[in-house]
Amino acid sequence: MLKHIVEKEIRDILISTKFTVTFTICSLLIILSFYTGAKNHQLAQAKYEAGKSENLRQIEGLTDWLSVRQFRVYLPPQPLESLVSGVSNDIGRTAEISGRGEIPVEDSRFGDDPIFAIFRFLDIEFVFQIILSLFAILFAYDAINGEKEKGTLRLTFSNSIPKDIFILGKLIGSFLALVIPLLIPVLIGTLLLPLLGIQLKGDEWIRYSLIILSGFLFTGVWLSLSVFISSLTEKSSTSFLYLMVLWIFAVMIIPRLSVIVSGAAVDVPALDEMNSKKARFISQLWSEDREKISLFKPTAGDDMQTTMNELNKFMQTNADDRDKKTNEFSSRLNEERVNKENLMQKVAFTISRISPVSSYSFAVTGLAGTSVDLKSSFRKSVEDYQIEYSNFMISKTGQNPGSGMRFVISDDNDEKPKNINPGEIPEFKFRPVLSSNLISGALKDIGLLLFFNIIFFAGAFFSFRKFDVR
C-alpha cells in the first residue's frame, strides 16, 4: 500500500509543470553555483599565489636579513570554501609578520573588494537555504488540504487506506521526487570540480558528502513542515501564507535577531578601547626604556664591532623584557574579550538554532571549514608561525627583529655584499581544524536537522489523524 502511495506521489509530482519549472531552475542554479564557486576559487588561488610571490619578490635584492620588513603571510583559499563561503570573505586574510608583538590579521576580501559584499556570492549553501527551501514549500504546502480541496482525499479514503500509511507515503514520495532528480545536477557539479581544478582530498570528499546530505536533510525539514502545516489548515492558500511567514522568520529573521539579542545580552569589551590600552602601555614601556638606552655605556672600549654587539645585546634584552610585559598585559585583556566573545557567540548560536536554517548553516560552514572558527585557526597558525619566523631570524641575524631599529656596520672595502635568499624563510603553513573535529562539530547540527525532520513528521502524522477528510 505504502509503495502505491509513494509511486503515485512521485508520478504526480514528476508530471507536473511545477516540477519541470522548479527542477530546471534548481538544476541550473546548482550547476551554476558549482561552476562559479570553482571559478572564484581559481581566481582566489591566483590572487593568493600572486600575493605570495610578490611578497617574496620584495625581499629579493636585499643584502641583510635585518632589512626584511613587511613580510606577510596569507590565508590560502580552501577548496570547500568555493562551495560554502561562510565568513571566509569577511575575516582578515593577511598578517604582517614580525619577530615579536601582537600580529593583527587584516584585509578581508569584502573589505578590499566591496563590490562582492553588495550582493555576496552564489554558493551551494545559498541555493539550499533560500531556493530549495522555497521550492520544498511550493511542492508540499497543499499536500493534504490541496487534496481535500480537489476532492481526491475523500476518494482515497473511501478505500481501506490507513491514515498513517497515507501520510508516510506522501512524505516519502514528495521527498524522493524532489531529492532524486536533484542528485543529477549535484553529480554534474561534482564532476565539474576536478575539471575546473578543484582537487578534493579523501577527508574533504567525506565533508563534501556530508554538506550535500545536510542540504537534503534541510530540504526534508521544509517538506515535512509544509505537510504538517497543510494538515493543520483547511485551505491551501492559508497554509501557503503561514508557510511563507514561517520561511521569512526562519530564514531571515530568527538567525539575525539571535545575534543581535545576544550582542545586547553579553557585554563584550570594545576592541578599540582594548587596542588603545595596549598602545598606551607599550608607549609607557618605551618611554621608560628610552631613559635606560640614553644611559647605556659600552664596556668594550674602541672596538667598534664589540661595541655594536654589546649595544645589540642590550637593545635585545630591553626589547625582550618589553615584549614579555606587553604579552602579559595583552593576554589578560585578550582573555577577557575572547571569553566574552565566546559566550556571546554561544548564546547567539543556541538561540538561533530554533530555526533549522541556522542548524543547516552551522553544519555546512563547519564542514567546509568556513565557520567563525576560521578566524581563530588562522590566528593560531600565524602565532605559531611567528615563533618559527623569529627563530629563523635569530639564527640568521642573532637578534629577534621587531622593534623597528636597525644597526648597520659597514667597512670601507668595496666588496658587494651577497643577496639574501628569500627562499630560506620558512614557509607559512595554515593549519586548519582537523577534518575529524570539523565532522564531529557538525554532527550536532546534522542531528538537529534530523530532529526537526522527525518532529515535523510526527506533527504531520498526529494532526493528519485528526484531519477531517470530508
Instruction: Please give the residues from 301 up to 360 whose contact with other proteins meets the rule CB under 8 A.
Output: 301-302, 304, 307-308, 311, 341, 344-345, 348, 352, 358
Task: Say whether residue 12 binds other proteins (CB under 8 A).
Answer: no
Number of residues that bind other proteins (CB under 8 A): 113
Three-state SS at 74: strand
- What single DSSP character describes residue 79? G
Task: Say whether residue 253 binds other proteins (CB under 8 A).
Answer: yes
1, 14, 15, 21: which one binds other proteins (CB under 8 A): 21
74, 218, 378, 461: which one binds other proteins (CB under 8 A): 74
d(CA 23, CA 130): 15
102, 107, 149, 320: which one binds other proteins (CB under 8 A): 107
| R_g of the chain computed on alpha carbons | 30
Question: Which residues neighbour 383 within 8 Å (Cβ) at sequence distance 6 or greater?
Answer: 103
Select from 205-213, 400-408, 438-446, 448-456 the region that touches other proteins (CB under 8 A): 400-408
Answer yes or no: are the C-beta atoms of 4 and 172 closer than 8 Å. Answer: no
Closest distance of CB 444 from other proteins, Å: 16
Q: CB count, 10 Å around CB of 378?
A: 24
55, 82, 326, 381: which one binds other proteins (CB under 8 A): 55
User: Quick one: which of 221, 244, 263 has its CA closest to 457?
Assistant: 221
Task: Say whether residue 48 binds other proteins (CB under 8 A).
Answer: yes
Closest distance of CB 422 from other proteins, Å: 11
8, 72, 163, 340: which one binds other proteins (CB under 8 A): 72
Give the side-chain half-sphere CA count within 13 A for 376: 9
161, 165, 200, 241: which one binds other proteins (CB under 8 A): 241
* Sheet with 105-108, side-by-side order of all strands: 71-74, 92-97, 105-108
Closest distance of CB 165 from other proteins, Å: 28
* Residues between 155 and 214 that touch other proteins (CB under 8 A): none
Cell 532524486: give the residue.
180
Task: Say whether residue 151 binds other proteins (CB under 8 A).
Answer: no
d(CA 236, CA 148): 9
Select from 7-15, 32-40, 188-196, 431-439 the region that touches other proteins (CB under 8 A): 32-40
Task: Say whether residue 246 binds other proteins (CB under 8 A).
Answer: no
d(CA 97, CA 99): 7
Element (H, E) at 92: strand 92-97
Task: Say whether residue 441 binds other proteins (CB under 8 A).
Answer: no
Closest distance of CB 161 from other proteins, Å: 26
Strand pairing partners for 71?
A: 97
